Amino acid sequence: MMSERAEEGAGGEELAAPAVAADVYDKDYYLNSCGGSEEWSASDGAEYAGLYPGSLVRAGFREGETLVDIGTGRGELLAAAVDQGAASAIGIEYSPDAVELAERTIERRDVGERAKVVLADARRVPVDDDFADLVTLLDVVEHLTPPELDGALAEGLRILRPGGRIVIHTMPTRTLYEVTYRLQRLSRPSRWRRWPKDPRVELERQMHVNEQTVPALRRSLRRAGFPDPEVGNGEWIHATMIPEEDRAGVERTYRRLAARKLTARFGSADIWAVAHKPG
């Protein structure tokens, strides 16, 4: 199951230092800024947000399957998978603070017999070949540079059993920020003064080194060896970067755009991808 692959890259070479240092992802981030933090903090890890079991439903998770969650954060997906009958669930995290919180989740949910978190890099997952039925990267890929993402996806392919699947969620999209928001801001002079030039908050500027588009994520998956990935926009609407006096109208616009296939990429804030290992 577990192998000694944490320190070296493919071919045995030492991994380059990550573009975003692990200590950037500290307890303050996971307890106050990372999705699902309210439910976790209010219960000291005993409860998790609905987005975790919802993601497993989206992934078609089945009882008896084995999960590897790359970038597991506080580890809620591991607990949710065990609650849904996982044979085992392994979380990979390079942030020591996240590992500590994930261990707390495992303890509080009493799932330690089938769940485990490991301190390791996404590009060097200490798990044997052909081990997992499902590999997940939920809100992780935007935090990895293109070469780092290539390495993580290659590892995902390696550890999946033939026919196993990788499921990815990422938000916000590069299209929403760099096309939709920019055009909206430029469309009215009054918005130049009220709307920030860059819609990203400071944490996004610090952590988001590779925001995605549907075509870019599809290319990355194909390059990693997943031949026919299904990649498309999700249903999440994101408008918190819009000044409050304009937000309601902008949200309505985003929802209209997201509801139509031809314009979904301009209104949807997120992307889902599912791909299978050949064989």
Closest CA to 185 of 134, 141, 242: 242
3-class secondary structure for 244-255? HHHHHHHHHHHH
With the CA atoms of 50, 63, 133 and 153 taken in that order, what torsion angle do they form, in degrees rounded to the nearest 10?
0
**Please, which residues have CB within 8 angstroms of residue 60's CB and are 6 or more apart in sequence?**
165
Task: Tell me what pLDDT residue 173 has.
Answer: 98
Q: 166 - beta bridge partners?
A: 135, 275
Confidence (pLDDT) at 5: 52
pTM of the model: 0.94
Question: Could you say which DSSP state residue 55 is in?
Answer: H
pLDDT at 7: 45
Query: In the beta sheet, which residues pair with residue 2?
Result: 127
Task: Provide the residue ranges of all domains of the chain, joining segments of one domain with +.
Answer: 10-170
Could you say which residues of the chain have pLDDT below 50?
6-11
Spatial separation of the C-alpha atoms in residues 259 and 200, rounded to whole Å: 24
CB contact at 8 A, 136 and 69 = yes
User: Phi and psi (nearest 5°) for 219?
Assistant: -65, -40
At 279 the pLDDT is 87
Residue 1 has a pLDDT of 62
Task: Give the architecture-level CATH label for domain 10-170.
Answer: 3-Layer(aba) Sandwich (3.40)
Distance CA 271, CA 169 (A): 6
Residue 180: CB atoms within 10 A of its CB come to 22
Q: What is the pLDDT of residue 8?
A: 47
Looking at residue 12, its pLDDT comes to 59
- Cα distance between residue 159 and residue 124, in whole Å: 11
Q: Which residue has the tokens 């994930």?
A: 102
Q: What are phi and psi of 256, to 5 degrees?
A: -65, -45
Closest of 19, 18, 34, 5 to residue 101, by C-alpha: 34
